[in-house]
């Protein structure tokens, strides 16, 4: 379930709801938010407000649950399930803001608070899920569902609520319940600590260059950004590079100093694996052990079996069949790419074998030699604001919606932007925040979350407040923020998640999303980013205003298969590593470094490529994508097949867009994923478009 059990989903943002409860006027969580569109009053919220609001939220929810279980009337959907859907409204209201801020704008005080809140929230989650009187009422409603006239959404919600209680220990008794509580408590702390360590390690590593000769090969914009970063750290006249990807990747692509490329890449690879206070090896081993132990206690063979029960994949074998098939195909291509790069090394007189830290550098040379395309030719056309507006324009052409900047509205961070989203008729859809630049208080990567989800309360529609967060290269000097092609795809990707959150039509706050399909809305948006018609809409040179020329668009198209082996191999390797950890049966004792090496050998990984995420900084498999990193690949089958429908009818075909919105974007979490896709496509997905578009067929 989505909302009732926010504690289980705290690190996955789209999980929470909203309420007003008056207590102490000084605490913003206890007063009605008289802000534009009811967004959180961020500037009024201080760290000391969170814990009292969390405690009050738990107390209020506990009293409301007692009301439900103490009801002498026979259990019904209305007096049990619908009421349970709203018991944690205040708690959710706080969690919306708290968890979003701990990911995008944290500090030492917030991190300490997170360590205190995590076990408290976990304990309350167990209190709900293991409440025998509450479960008895839910079970009664489930068994007598045919006696009520429930909507399809209500039936789906009821079924998943009942099964979620069972999956989370409702049938356990006595000592087994206490054991489950202990495991959940330990996991709640370990997962927070793992994430905090990754952020600390990311912030700790610094490659400081004081010899200008070591910058040879780097584009001027990259050098300027590094100089500005160094100056901000009080190192005037030097250049600073970090393991944040906007800083690291250009260095790996262009820096001629091989030793420094290795130093930076090793700093990235070894996050959480340095034997210091931020080491994650023991923490990960304990998480894997505890999740396997928990699965056995609940009657499952492995943690993966629990996770996959609500997914489209259903079974581990189905996941492995897809991943291994694509890995085998991708390795053939990756080995060819490796050999081509080795030829470049030898032609230049290099007396060494290609290593992982060399890949980006020689891949860039290969791109230029094969396709006459230099990434730096593209960046001037990809101004961040223009790319953002391009995504807006695509959404407007597809769905008729508009995005209007909001000037006077509370912001989650000074860097953030806010937009009101409206339907074509001018009616309000929701609020969209966008927060693009890296900072030490923000975790790595890019994501989309919510400060408020769509629902209907007492007949009143509650509109969503959505946030898109990234770590893109900031402006430097007189140059605006210029994106790489990968950055462009990332922005469109997260924007796709944002559209799904904005278009949701759920009545209740409790939803159940099959995680295999959750990446479909995001990944399908990436297809539009590189369509010639779309590039002409947003790709304009930041100095001249010139629209990207046809010859560059042609180069982008011709190089669409470029580095496909590498891209697919590193993703499949990470996905298989994830599945390997969570396919272990209890007792599961692992040494992460040894285990990772064994899995890489088993799958035939070539030494020139590392998995996209190594064990000790693999945040996905800690906070929501455990036994689930494969979903990006599963959804890739869906998004390539779904985009074929647009290709067949026109990439801006209104009927196709309306069907995708109605059957997929609006129904996420309130209908079986398989049925959603069938209703849109009229058939089951086919793998061929994915293989063809990735050059793997």
* SS3 of residue 577 by DSSP: helix
pLDDT (0 to 100) of residue 8: 38
- 302 part of a folded domain: no
Length of the chain: 697
Q: Which residues of the chain have pLDDT under 50?
A: 1-24
> Do 113 and 239 fall within a single domain?
no
> Do 228 and 158 fall within a single domain?
no
Q: Check residue 79 and report its DSSP letter.
A: I
- 638 part of a folded domain: no
Choosing from 215, 242, 269, the residue where a domain stops is 269
CA distances from 260 to 21, 208, 228, 268, 689 (A): 56, 10, 20, 13, 40
Nearest to 680 by CA among 496, 649, 429, 449: 649
> For 547, phi and psi rounded to 5 degrees?
-70, 145
- 209 part of a folded domain: yes
Q: Are strands 402-405 and 239-241 parallel, antiparallel or unpaired?
A: unpaired
Q: Where are the beta strands (DSSP E) in 487-561?
A: none
- 474 part of a folded domain: yes
* SS3 of residue 3 by DSSP: coil
> Do 150 and 209 fall within a single domain?
no
> Do 122 and 53 fall within a single domain?
yes
> Do 117 and 230 fall within a single domain?
no
> Do 228 and 118 fall within a single domain?
no
Nearest to 21 by CA among 33, 7, 13: 33
Choosing from 213, 237, 269, the residue where a domain stops is 269
Residues 630, 635, 636: CA angle, nearest 5 degrees: 100
- 350 part of a folded domain: no
pLDDT (0 to 100) of residue 16: 30
> Do 59 and 114 fall within a single domain?
yes
Structure tokens at 158: 């009821």
Whole domain around residue 254: which residue ranges?
A: 205-269
Please state, in angstroms and rounded to a whole number, the distance separating the CA atoms of residues 613 and 620.
Answer: 9
> Do 19 and 143 fall within a single domain?
yes
Please state, in angstroms and rounded to a whole number, the distance separating the CA atoms of residues 260 and 357.
Answer: 10
- Residues ≥6 apart with Cβ < 8 Å to 453: 3, 14, 15, 16, 17, 462, 464, 501, 504, 506, 509
> Do 140 and 233 fall within a single domain?
no
pLDDT (0 to 100) of residue 19: 36
State the residue for tokens 């931020």.
Answer: 278
Please state, in angstroms and rounded to a whole number, the distance separating the CA atoms of residues 381 and 378.
Answer: 6
If one counts the domains in the chain, the total is 3
> For 208, phi and psi rounded to 5 degrees?
-105, 125
Please state, in angstroms and rounded to a whole number, the distance separating the CA atoms of residues 209 and 206.
Answer: 10
Residues 234, 235, 240: CA angle, nearest 5 degrees: 115
> Do 152 and 213 fall within a single domain?
no
- 156 part of a folded domain: yes
pLDDT (0 to 100) of residue 25: 56
Please state, in angstroms and rounded to a whole number, the distance separating the CA atoms of residues 614 and 68.
Answer: 46
Catalytically active residues, by annotation: 494
- Residues ≥6 apart with Cβ < 8 Å to 26: none
Q: Count the helices and strands in the chain (H runs, E runs).
A: 26, 9
- 612 part of a folded domain: no
CATH number of the domain where residue 388 is located: 1.10.1370.40
Is the dihedral angle over the CA atoms 485, 490, 496, 502 positive or is it negative?
negative
- 694 part of a folded domain: no
End-to-end CA distance of the chain: 38
State the residue for tokens 């706050």.
Answer: 509
Asked whether 413 and 468 are in contact (CB, 8 A), the reply is: no
Please state, in angstroms and rounded to a whole number, the distance separating the CA atoms of residues 362 and 340.
Answer: 9
Choosing from 535, 556, 577, the residue where a domain stops is 556
Instruction: Give the H or E element holding residue 468.
Output: strand 465-469
> Do 464 and 408 fall within a single domain?
yes
Is the dihedral angle over the CA atoms 628, 629, 635, 637 positive or is it negative?
negative
> Do 13 and 154 fall within a single domain?
yes
Asked whether 578 and 307 are in contact (CB, 8 A), the reply is: no
Nearest to 339 by CA among 369, 359, 364, 368: 359
- The DSSP-derived string for 340-377 is HHHHHHHHTT--S---GGGHHHHHHHHHHHHH---HHH
């Amino acid at each position: 379930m989505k909302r009732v059990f926010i504690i289980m989903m705290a690190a996955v943002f789209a999980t929470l709801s909203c309420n007003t409860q008056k207590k102490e006027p000084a605490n913003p969580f206890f007063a009605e938010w008289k802000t534009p569109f009811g967004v959180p009053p961020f500037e009024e919220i201080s760290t000391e407000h969170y814990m009292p609001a969390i405690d009050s939220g738990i107390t209020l929810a506990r009293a409301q649950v007692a009301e439900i279980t103490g009801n002498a009337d026979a259990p019904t959907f209305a007096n049990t399930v619908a009421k349970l859907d709203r018991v944690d409204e205040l708690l959710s209201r706080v969690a919306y803001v708290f968890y979003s801020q701990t990911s995008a704008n944290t500090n030492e005080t917030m991190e300490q608070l997170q360590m205190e809140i995590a076990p408290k929230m976990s304990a309350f989650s167990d209190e709900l899920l293991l409440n025998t009187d509450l479960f008895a009422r839910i079970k009664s409603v489930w068994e007598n569902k045919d006696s009520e006239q429930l909507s399809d959404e209500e039936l789906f919600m009821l079924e998943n609520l009942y099964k979620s209680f069972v999956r989370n220990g409702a049938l356990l008794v006595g000592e087994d319940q206490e054991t489950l509580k202990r495991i959940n408590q330990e996991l709640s702390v370990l997962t927070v600590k793992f994430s905090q360590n990754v952020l600390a390690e990311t912030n700790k590593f610094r490659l400081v260059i004081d010899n200008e000769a070591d910058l040879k090969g780097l584009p001027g914009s990259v050098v300027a950004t590094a100089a500005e970063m160094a100056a901000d750290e009080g190192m005037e006249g030097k250049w600073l590079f970090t393991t944040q990807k906007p800083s690291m990747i250009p260095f790996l692509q262009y820096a001629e100093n091989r030793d420094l490329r290795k130093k930076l890449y090793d700093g990235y690879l070894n996050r959480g694996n340095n034997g210091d206070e931020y080491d994650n090896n023991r923490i990960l081993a304990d998480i894997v052990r505890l999740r396997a132990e928990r699965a056995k206690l609940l009657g499952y063979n492995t943690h993966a079996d629990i996770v996959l029960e609500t997914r489209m994949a259903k079974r581990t074998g189905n996941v492995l069949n897809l991943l291994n098939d694509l890995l085998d195909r991708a390795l053939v291509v990756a080995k060819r790419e490796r050999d081509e790069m080795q030829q470049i090394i030898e032609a230049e007189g290099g007396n060494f074998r290609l290593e992982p830290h060399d890949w980006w550098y020689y891949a860039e040379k290969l791109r230029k030699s094969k396709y006459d395309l230099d990434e730096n030719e593209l960046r001037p056309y990809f101004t961040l604001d223009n790319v953002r507006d391009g995504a807006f324009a695509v959404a407007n052409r597809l769905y008729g919606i508009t995005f209007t900047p909001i000037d006077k509205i509370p912001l989650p961070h000074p860097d953030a932007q806010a937009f009101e989203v409206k339907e074509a008729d001018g009616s309000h859809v929701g609020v969209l925040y966008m927060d693009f630049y890296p900072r030490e208080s923000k975790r790595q990567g890019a994501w989309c979350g919510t400060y408020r989800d769509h629902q209907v309360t007492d007949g009143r529609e509650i509109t969503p407040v959505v946030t898109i967060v990234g770590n893109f290269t900031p402006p430097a000097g007189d140059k605006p923020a210029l994106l790489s092609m990968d950055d462009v795809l990332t922005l469109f990707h997260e924007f796709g998640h944002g559209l799904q959150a904005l278009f949701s039509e759920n009545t209740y706050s409790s939803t159940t999303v099959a995680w295999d399909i959750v990446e479909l809305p995001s990944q399908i948006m990436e297809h539009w980013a590189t369509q010639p018609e779309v590039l002409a809409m947003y790709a304009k040179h930041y100095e001249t205003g010139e629209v990207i020329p046809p010859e560059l668009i042609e180069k982008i198209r011709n190089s669409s298969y470029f580095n496909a082996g590498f891209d697919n191999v590193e993703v499949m390797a990470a996905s298989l590593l994830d599945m390997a950890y969570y396919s272990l049966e209890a007792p599961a004792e692992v040494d992460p470094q040894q285990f990772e090496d064994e899995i890489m050998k088993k799958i035939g990984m070539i030494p020139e490529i590392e998995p996209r995420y190594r064990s000790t900084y693999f945040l996905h498999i800690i906070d929501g994508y455990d036994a689930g990193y494969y979903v990006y690949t599963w959804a890739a089958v869906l998004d390539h097949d779904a985009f074929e429908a647009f290709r067949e009818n026109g990439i801006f075909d209104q009927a196709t867009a309306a069907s995708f919105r109605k059957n997929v974007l609006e129904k996420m979490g309130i209908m079986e994923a398989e049925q959603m896709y069938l209703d849109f496509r009229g058939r089951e997905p086919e793998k061929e478009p994915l293989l063809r578009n990735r050059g793997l067929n």
